Amino acid sequence: MNGTTVGLSLAGLALALAVLWANLRPWWEGTRDPKALAPFGSGFLLGALSTMCTGGLLGWLAGCTPGVTNGVGDKAVSAVTGRGGSATLAHGSLGALTPNGAIVVFLATIAIVLGWRAAGKQDKKRTAGGALVGSTLCVTAGVASLLNWLPGLVNQGGDQVVAAFNGLGGLL
């Protein structure tokens, strides 16, 4: 966890769900090609992984996202309905990274950033939307519970990388 105590409000949830719907609807109504979800999915993964960072740039961004989403969501919900949604949802956490898991998150971040830089304008928006949704929804108890397998997978992946390179002996 990134050390933040900001929970997601109902209005923040509404905004995150609107961004999620705006990204999934064209795919659902289109060809439903799984490759079309890659930009949004990679952003969502980066956002989810960032909530596991205890510091650094990713941890800081993940710590800021719920507060920003809550503020923008409250203004949007209030403008549309005349009533804000400031009540907060139950707070959750995906868990923490091990030093080995941090290697996997770093490499995934580099891959996603390089993909983002090479992408067109629309895919850049989808990646950014995925990152917002991932880092916002993963601070709720429900989504954190659904993705409770992710920290173990990332940390074990890091363990495997380290073990592979330790097993190479004097070759490196």
What pLDDT, in 10s, does the model give residues 82-136? 998 889 999 999 999 999 999 999 999 999 999 999 999 999 999 999 999 999 9
Within-domain flag for 2: no
CA distance 69 to 15: 7
Within-domain flag for 171: no
pLDDT classification of 4: cutoffs 50, 70, 90: very low
Within-domain flag for 1: no
User: Is the torsion defined by CA of 43, 47, 53, 55 positive or negative?
Assistant: positive
Residue with the larger pLDDT of the pair 72 and 3: 72
Domain of residue 101, residue span: 10-165
Within-domain flag for 54: yes
Within-domain flag for 59: yes
Helix (H) or strand (E) holding 102: helix 99-118
pLDDT reading at 3 higher than 50: no
Q: Work out the average pLDDT over 78-83.
A: 94
pLDDT reading at 6 higher than 90: no
DSSP of 106-144, one letter per residue?
Answer: HHHHHHHHHHHHHS-HHHHHHHHHHHHHHHHHTTBHHHH
The answer, as to whether pTM is greater than 0.75, is: yes
Within-domain flag for 144: yes
Within-domain flag for 170: no
Domain count, the chain: 1
Q: In Å, how far are 9, 74, 84, 130 from 79, measured between CA atoms?
A: 16, 8, 8, 24
Helix-strand-coil split of the chain, %, nearest 5: 75, 0, 25
Within-domain flag for 172: no
Instruction: Retrieve residue 14's tokens.
Output: 């509404």
